[in-house]
């Protein structure tokens, strides 16, 4: 436990009511959306950057690990307090400071919930596109720290494409400002990008400048069903060759379809190998034309059936299938190991084949869905974390799945981050040199290794 | 917990996705993880696995729940969080006891209608003898804390004579289509007889024979505080009374009573209990499902919005019926509010125990109501009415709150009392 004098000092910084000491409360800040959990020694809920600076200085003096945390919905273990210490809960810093309509910039604190920001800007006809699945609960701070993606990434990019500037408390307690409201900026190193996706290991983000764009006028949703996965993948390429960039190209494999149908009875075809949910957005006339082109293209190239939603209700029905996935898959087994490997788009069929082989070899339940447009797949292994023997097989399968992704020219993580769960595999993709460069940055910024230790890096810096 | 194995099984279904954060009214106000379902589930699971005691902190965390079921609805695995929290409260009550005041209220007052009437009478005397006037005028409670003074204002006005003493036990009808019993609930009986009269006024026009048997508290106040034994006893008493009445349906005007009565079957487990529960329906369901509501021809000039009580929408799956009924009234303009199904923060005595937190939840409801431009809020639960009225008053709003029955009864010209 932390020394009483340290706790007292922290209370004097943030106020007594913002320091949680009871075991029960601390336990509630020791987990995220992975199956793992720890118990921090203290939970601190700061209200401003200056308080965080003081806490970081104190943490360095006493060598206490500090773990920044948003909504705790991460899938890589990025916020887990793996080595005791203090969880820094940033939910109190939840103000939208400014929506600058002239410069198309929103300035927000890290605790703002993603959906709240989206609603606020959409009221003014603007748009913040990144849409991680957890957007109703996740915080912008968490999104930036993990560089969250989402289905719309293929057309609109990921969180990093919208972060223009940051205010960050460094691991040693300095206040750093990067970027700002200008579209162009090449002054020195691009620290904004370095911090975006740094997983809380290089600093605590306290203010974020986000790029906004005008809100698309309308959208149209289609669902195409395929007997063969290859046809679905080929269709994606054909659509793009037509010069159409859909907002979303969501893929569900046969196991996912079975699972959803068993659970939700939506009338999905059980003999299909793949379903694509395609959405296009833009001016109304353009969107209607594009939907027609896509429908014709799919029908002519192996799609068994194509449904074009004619109104928002029908579009909801189509999306219902995709939204039912997360609830449906956990009916198989309670523990969900959700991976997010990404491969070049053309390698999707090969990757799906490899994944299925791996699952068969280790006798595991595997469903695959994901974002076909950008090659980001979500192989989900359904298992029971109380079954030790099964969990060992899961671990081996996960290792092979990363290997397969890298071999096909892909990446370990498209949007969840490395965190604790993928740390042992980092070098697989970065190689020794990449690893050392990253580690050098970490060591330079956080000499005492007290900010979010145990994340990204394995080995002695784990 | 009573059935630790099955509870653990349900708790194990939590994948910790955190989706409950999006809908929990308490989380929205506090952003505090122990208050959201995911936190509570994790703590309960840890307790059942043996790594956590039922400490006073645990008791506090378990009592910080509105039981509004919003998380249950949202949960991909439909974990019955409200039930698990109730079970936890029961275990804690059994091991650590419940407060002296609550124990006496549950075990001596609720089961005895004579004593309950006396208590209500004392409340009435407090409010009408000049004592309340004196208390408020002298601001004596403010000296004891502003909170207490505000809570005092939350105390609804007691009826001079309980509703059931004002009306006959049987209201006959020519060629009745059904014979129904009216479970009046304590709120209508002791606090708001006007609601009861409106219910009878509406029923009178639907060709029904209506029985109002002597009856007891439904038991939900005791159950919410972990006193299941008292609830079971009250359930048995009510089941017996209504079994003798031999009716086609038992109707309620209170969402909380209704959801409690419908749960008697599970709680008591006897065939009589299950039969009783299957007959219970909300007034709005009776008027849409069993009989086709016939409104009067008097214009009801009002712009109306509707608040879904948690225990009606999620507790009993009734959402469309009240809206449909409101829209049948001549002269009414209906307007939907944002987050109509979000808890108002009353949650039984939660608004007394945690006044500040409940107020924050209530204010959001009031904002949503005000944004509709409606002049009248209608709902189907007397607790919600008390809470919403209180916070509208605190906000200086002149919007009226009333029970669905009261609005419906206004369409019967000149016959209204």
A32-47 pLDDT tens trace? 999 899 999 999 999 9
Mean pLDDT along residues B225-254: 92
Is A73 within 8 Å of B17 when comparing Cβ atoms? yes
Residue B13 is nearest to which of A71, A134, A334, comparing CB atoms? A334
Is B417 a residue whose pLDDT tops 60? no
Chain A interface mutation, best of B11, B13, B21, highest count of A Cβ atoms under 10 Å: B21
Distance from CA of A40 to the nearest CA of B (A): 14
- Distances in Å between the Cα of B43 and the Cα atoms of A141, A172, B12, B52, B233 are 26, 34, 12, 7, 30
Residue of chain B whose Cα is closest to the Cα of A337: B15
Is B17 within 8 Å of A134 when comparing Cβ atoms? yes
Return the H-helix or E-strand segment holding A218: strand A218-226
Strand residue runs (E) in B63-203? 170-171, 178-183
Is B329 a residue whose pLDDT tops 90? yes
Residue A25 is nearest to which of B12, B34, B46, comparing CB atoms? B34
Task: Residue B37: list chain A partners with CB under 8 A.
Answer: none
Mean pLDDT along residues A205-221: 97
Residue B76 is nearest to which of A37, A89, A330, comparing CB atoms? A330
Q: So what's the ipTM on this one?
A: 0.94
Distance from CA of B186 to the nearest CA of A (A): 36
Residues of A with CB under 8 A from a CB of B: 22-25, 27-29, 31-35, 37, 71-73, 89, 91-92, 94, 111, 115, 134, 136-137, 326-327, 330-331, 334-336
Beta strand A335-338 pairing with A376-383: antiparallel
Residue A330 is nearest to which of B15, B18, B31, comparing CB atoms? B15
B66-81: per-residue pLDDT in tens? 999 999 999 988 899 9
Is A92 within 8 Å of B55 when comparing Cβ atoms? no
Please tell me chain A's helix, strand, coil percentages from 3-state DSSP, rounded to the nearest 5.
Answer: 40, 25, 40
pLDDT at residue B146, as a whole number: 63
Distance from CA of A188 to the nearest CA of B (A): 38
Residue B18 is nearest to which of A35, A73, A335, comparing CB atoms? A73
How many CB atoms within 10 Å of residue A238? 16
Helix or strand or coil: residue B116? helix
Is B416 a residue whose pLDDT tops 60? no
Distance from CA of B243 to the nearest CA of A (A): 39
Q: State the count of interchain CB pairs (< 8 A) between A and B.
A: 74
Measured between alpha carbons, how far is A87 from B303 in angstroms, rounded to an integer? 49
A398-419: per-residue pLDDT in tens? 999 999 999 999 999 999 999 9
Is A244 a residue whose pLDDT tops 80? yes
Is A24 within 8 Å of B18 when comparing Cβ atoms? no
Taken as a whole, chain A contains a residue count of: 462
Is B52 within 8 Å of A23 when comparing Cβ atoms? yes
């Amino acid at each position: 436990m932390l020394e009483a004098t340290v706790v007292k000092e922290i209370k004097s910084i943030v106020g007594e009511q913002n320091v949680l000491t009871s075991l029960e409360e601390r336990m509630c800040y020791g987990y995220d959306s992975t199956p793992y959990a720890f118990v921090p020694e203290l939970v601190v809920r700061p209200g401003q950057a200056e308080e965080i600076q003081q806490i970081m200085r104190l943490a360095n003096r006493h060598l206490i690990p500090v773990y920044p945390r948003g909504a705790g919905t991460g899938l890589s273990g990025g916020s887990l307090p793996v080595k005791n210490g203090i969880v820094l809960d940033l939910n109190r810093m939840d103000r939208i400071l400014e929506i600058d309509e002239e410069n198309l910039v929103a300035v927000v604190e890290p605790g703002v919930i993603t959906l709240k920001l989206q609603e606020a800007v959409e009221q003014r006809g603007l748009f913040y596109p990144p849409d991680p699945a957890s957007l109703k609960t996740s915080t912008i701070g968490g999104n930036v720290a993990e560089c969250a993606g989402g289905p719309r990434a293929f057309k609109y990019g990921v969180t990093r494409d919208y972060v223009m500037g940051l205010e960050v408390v460094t691991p040693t307690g300095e206040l750093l400002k990067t970027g700002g409201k200008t579209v162009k900026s090449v002054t020195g190193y691009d620290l904004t990008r370095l911090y975006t996706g740094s997983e809380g290991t290089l600093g605590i983000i306290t203010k974020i400048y986000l790029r906004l764009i005008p809100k698309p006028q309308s959208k149209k949703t289609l669902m195409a069903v395929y007997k063969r996965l290859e046809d679905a993948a080929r269709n994606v390429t054909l659509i793009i060759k037509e010069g159409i960039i859909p907002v979303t190209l969501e893929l569900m494999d046969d196991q996912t379809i079975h699972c959803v149908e068993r659970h939700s009875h939506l009338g999905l075809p059980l003999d299909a190998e793949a379903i694509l949910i395609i959405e296009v957005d833009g001016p109304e006339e353009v969107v209607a034309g594009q939907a027609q082109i896509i429908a014709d293209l799919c029908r002519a190239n192996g799609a068994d059936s194509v449904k074009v939603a004619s109104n928002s209700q029908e579009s909801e029905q189509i999306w219902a299938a995709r939204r039912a996935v997360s609830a449906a898959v956990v009916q198989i087994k309670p523990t969900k190991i959700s991976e997010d490997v990404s491969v070049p788009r053309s390698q999707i069929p090969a990757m799906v084949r490899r994944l299925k082989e791996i699952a068969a070899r280790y006798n595991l339940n595997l469903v695959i869905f994901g974002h076909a447009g950008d090659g980001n797949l979500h192989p989900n292994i359904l298992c029971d974390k109380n079954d030790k023997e099964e969990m060992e097989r899961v671990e081996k399968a996960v290792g092979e799945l990363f290997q397969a992704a890298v071999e096909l020219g892909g990446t370990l993580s498209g949007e969840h981050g490395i965190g604790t769960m993928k740390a042992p595999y980092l070098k697989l993709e970065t190689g020794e040199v990449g690893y050392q460069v990253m580690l050098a940055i970490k060591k330079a910024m956080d000499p005492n290794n007290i900010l979010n230790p145990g994340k990204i890096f394995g080995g002695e810096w784990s | 917990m009573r059935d630790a194995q099955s509870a653990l099984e349900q708790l194990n279904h939590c994948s910790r996705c955190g989706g409950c954060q999006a809908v929990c009214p308490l989380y929205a106000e506090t952003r505090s993880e122990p208050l959201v379902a995911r936190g509570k589930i994790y703590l309960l699971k840890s307790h059942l696995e043996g790594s956590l005691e039922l400490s006073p902190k645990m008791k506090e965390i378990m009592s910080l729940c509105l039981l509004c079921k919003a998380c249950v609805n949202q949960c991909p695995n439909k974990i019955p969080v409200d039930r698990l929290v109730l079970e936890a409260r029961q275990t804690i009550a059994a091991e650590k006891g419940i407060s002296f005041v609550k124990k006496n209220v549950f075990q001596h007052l609720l089961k005895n209608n004579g004593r309950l009437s006396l208590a209500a009478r004392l409340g009435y005397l407090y409010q009408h003898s000049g004592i309340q006037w004196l208390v408020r005028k002298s601001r004596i409670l403010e000296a004891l804390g502003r909170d207490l003074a505000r809570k005092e204002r939350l105390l609804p006005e007691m009826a001079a004579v309980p509703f059931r003493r004002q009306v006959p036990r049987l209201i006959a009808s020519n060629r009745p289509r059904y014979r129904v019993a009216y479970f009046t609930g304590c709120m209508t009986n002791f606090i708001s007889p006007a609601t009861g009269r409106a219910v009878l006024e509406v029923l009178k026009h639907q060709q029904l024979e209506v029985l109002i048997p002597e009856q007891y508290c439904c038991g939900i106040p005791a159950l919410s505080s972990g006193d299941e034994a008292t609830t079971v006893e009250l359930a048995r008493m009510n089941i017996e009374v209504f079994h003798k009445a031999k009716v086609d349906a038992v109707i309620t005007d209170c969402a909380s009573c209704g959801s409690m009565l419908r749960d008697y079957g599970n709680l008591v487990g006897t065939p009589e209990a299950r039969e009783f529960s299957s007959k219970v329906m909300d007034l709005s369901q009776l008027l849409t499902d069993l009989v086709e509501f016939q409104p009067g021809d008097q214009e009801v000039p009002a712009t109306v919005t509707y608040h879904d009580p948690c225990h009606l929408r999620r507790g009993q799956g009734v959402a469309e019926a009240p809206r449909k009924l409101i829209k049948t009234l001549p002269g009414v303009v209906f307007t939907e509010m944002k987050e109509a199904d979000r808890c108002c923060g009353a949650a039984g005595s939660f608004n007394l125990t945690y006044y500040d937190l409940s107020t924050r939840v209530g204010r959001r409801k009031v904002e949503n109501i005000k944004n509709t431009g409606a002049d009248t809020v209608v709902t189907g639960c007397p607790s919600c009415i008390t809470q919403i009225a209180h916070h509208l008053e605190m906000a200086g709003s002149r919007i009226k709150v009333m029970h669905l029955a009261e609005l419906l009864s206004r369409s019967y010209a000149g016959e209204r009392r």
